[in-house]
Amino acid sequence: MLRARFPGRQLQLITDAVARAEAKTSGEIRVVILARFEDGVSDIKTQAEREFLKHGLQQTRDKTGVLLLIVLKNRQCYVMADKGLNDQLDDAFLGTEITYLSKAIGNGQATAGICEMVGNIGSKLAEFFPPREDDVNELSDAPILGA
């Protein structure tokens, strides 16, 4: 189901958006797209916590990992930031971004919405965490498609 909805070209657009966003910041952004919650999970925050740990976002050097989780069946998305970013990605900013992305998903524009949101998060991160001279890409830019 997810491969049909996000064929190779769509995945490449998201990967490129993450790479562009990360070029402006020392932060690391991971996009995880799930068809539905895992068994035993009933809310987006719990699923995000699992995905954050599963994909190593808590292990970035400067604690600047950001997870963008999309659960298509529920048309929900959630952004989880590591300790270094919690204060910078405030609720008002995230609320606006999540509302926009939810509408984009509902309108069949998921890839465009994801790319836009990734760019906006990257710009916000750049304000507080510009790229470091010794910065390395700690996590893959490619989105993760799950069950």
Contacts of 53 (CB under 8 A, 6+ apart): none
**Cβ atoms 81, 122 nearer than 8 A:** no
Q: How confident is the model at residue 145 (pLDDT cuts 50, 70, 90)?
A: very high
Nearest to 30 by CA among 58, 62, 2: 58
The per-residue pLDDT for range 76-93, each reduced to its tens digit, is: 999 998 887 767 777 888
Averaged confidence pLDDT in the chain: 90
Segment 50-75 shows an average pLDDT of 90
Segment 25-32 shows an average pLDDT of 94
Residue with tokens 């490129």, as numbered in its chain: 16
For position 138, which CATH number holds?
3.10.310.50
Q: How far apart are CA 62 and CA 3, in angstroms?
A: 33
- Name the domain count of the chain: 1
pLDDT of 54 higher than 90 = yes
Q: What is the 3-state secondary structure (H, E, C) of 31-78?
A: EEEECCCCCCCCCHHHHHHHHHHHCCHHHCCCCCEEEEEEECCCCEEE
User: What domain range includes position 75?
Assistant: 2-145
Neighbours of 53 (CB within 10 A): 13
**pLDDT at position 33:** 96
